[in-house]
Copies of this chain bind each other. A is one copy, B any other.
């Protein structure tokens, strides 16, 4: 944050200025109309916003009918709200993005039902000849332990094989697509696209309030999210971090880097401190009777410096 001047920002695609009586967020203004590239053909760009850190404070303080307090008190209040999951005041901030992403990413994204969406339509418009071809670095093997994860690198030969196969399917699919549309065939657009791959790029406007965006980010910045959607989450996180710096810091401290201890885990730690518990994996497993839960506790204990 301190070397803001030196941060290299993407170029602005529109650069007009207006006068407004609305509250502004300098950090959001900085990002307006600057698309952040994501994957090979995608992007995220902030197109509009409403509110700032003060809007959260103001909404929370409607109970008091009092004016602004000191900056310190405002920070304390925003952090208190986040810490205790009093999330409604953060609904008073809104962001509108334009985003371009592969369809398989869009399918994960759209599961968040609390946003407004307008998507490019393959029924009305021709699909572009743009498909996601992964970078070699992310071509990894199925994780043997994590059903949804990636593990070791593929061999260079296998990477080549995969990328060639993808390119072949993409090329063939698009050739037929063009053929269906433009030749004497003239197939309806809504049918001509059904064989296009899930890696085809699509585009949408996406408008969401800060509370729901943070929920989205908590899930999609997580290391268990598919890499390809994490990239979009990170782009938005960068913008949000500048737009509502106090709220974002609270989100980092109380959500992103936080840990949840279950009732049984609290019990365990307490007894352990009292010397009533050992903590070998086997002993914990005996107690929790669940392999995964035991592994999770072991990991938490380590993170807390127990061993």
Contact = CB atoms under 8 A, between A and B. Distances in A.
Contact of A124 (B64, B111, B140, B271): B64
Interface string A161-193: 110011011101100100111001111111101
A158 B188 CA distance: 13
A245 interface: no
A21 B200 CA distance: 32
Number of copies: 4
Q: How large is the interface on A (under 10, 10 to 19, 20 to 34, 35 or more residues)?
A: 35 or more
A91 interface: yes
In terms of DSSP, what is the predominant structure of the interface of chain A? mixed
A162 B148 contact: no
Contacts of A261: 258-261, 304
Of A21, A107, A176, chain B has the most CB atoms within 10 Å of the CB of A21
A238 interface: no
Interface of A: 14-24, 29, 32-33, 48-51, 55, 58-60, 62-65, 76, 79-80, 83, 88-89, 91-92, 94, 96, 98, 102-104, 107, 110-111, 113-114, 116-125, 131-132, 134, 138-143, 147-151, 154, 158, 161-162, 165-166, 168-170, 172-173, 176, 179-181, 184-191, 193-200, 203-205, 207, 209, 226, 252-254, 256-264, 266, 269-274, 290, 292-293, 296, 303-306
